[in-house]
Amino acid sequence: PFFFFCQNKPVMAFGLMAITLCVAYLGYLHATVENKKDLYEAIDSEGSRYMRRKTSKWD
């Protein structure tokens, strides 16, 4: 077991880094989707566009 571990340290380090980056990227995507979920692009009477938060009709 010791020799198997010593020979594959670079491969293990690469795999650990790849998995860490994948998890970090998924966390980033989740955070940005949460922020954009309640926003939509609205157009006012003058024709200019702006971002607006969705509001419920129950509020």
> Residue 59 above 90 pLDDT?
no
Q: Provide the 3-class DSSP secondary structure of residue 17.
A: helix
Lowest mean pLDDT among 12-16, 21-25, 46-50: 46-50
Instruction: Say if CB 40 and CB 54 are below 8 A apart.
Output: yes
Report d(CA 12, CA 32) in Å as an integer.
Answer: 30
Q: What is the pLDDT of residues 37-58, one digit of tens each?
A: 777 888 888 888 878 777 777 7
Average pLDDT over residues 32-40: 75
Question: Which has more confidence, 23 or 54?
Answer: 23
> Residue 10 above 70 pLDDT?
yes
The terminus-to-terminus CA distance of the chain in angstroms comes to 63
Q: What are phi and psi of 55, to 5 degrees?
A: -120, 150
CA dihedral 35, 39, 40, 42 (to 10 degrees): -140
Query: pTM for the whole thing?
Result: 0.54
